[in-house]
Chain A
């Protein structure tokens, strides 16, 4: 138990569906992250929020839309996804994310997404 929870754990959706992934951290952290993990590829950082402000968007297609209403919650809204978006989506949090700093990240269990 890392203090970071994700729901749902598994999701199957069609290409025309709209769904959302939820992440919640109980660690009092101020930075939250979304990662994508595809088979045989390194972790890909998608979005970063620091004190509720988005600080990174690593050229992620607009069919992925993040939302961070407060420092404890992070959402990833999904719409019109493609089969190649099938992957494990991981959420993480850290104390903060300042320039030149790398604070330990705590990961959630992930959501296994399958797009049909």
Chain B
């Protein structure tokens, strides 16, 4: 079992829809990282979170440390949001990094 689980694995949405991607983890963490990977491989950092909520443009990330859960929301989705979204954590004790398998998002015009 992976220490980081993401859902859904695949998601198709119509342009303009509100999207939610979930990440659950089983270890105590120092922080959580949301990453975006476009076709071709390049990975871009979206958010680092250790508590609460962060917003950048149409993207919002939240984290609930007690429930060991984070969500990434995309408002007014656009085809350029099509990518794989990856959740990553670093454990607070063993300092290990754990990665989810990613959520593949396709936004249809």
The residue that A107 contacts in the complex, of B4, B42, B101, with Cβ under 8 A, is B42
B contact patch SS: strand
Say how far A111's CB is from chain B's closest CB, in angstroms. 9
Q: Mask for B90-109, Cβ within 8 A of A = 1, else 0?
A: 10100101111110000000
User: When A and B form their complex, what is the total count of cross-chain residue pairs whose Cβ atoms lie within 8 Å?
Assistant: 57
From B14-22, B43-51, B56-64, B67-75, the one touching the partner chain is B43-51
Contact A109 B45 (CB under 8 A): no
Please give, as numbers and ranges, the residues of chain A lying within 8 Å of B88 by CB-CB distance.
43
- Residue positions of B touching A, CB distance < 8 A: 2, 4, 29-33, 35, 40-45, 48, 86, 88-90, 92, 95, 97-102
Q: Which 6 A-B pairs have CB atoms at the shortest separation, nearest pair first?
A: A102-B31, A102-B90, A107-B43, A110-B41, A42-B99, A43-B99
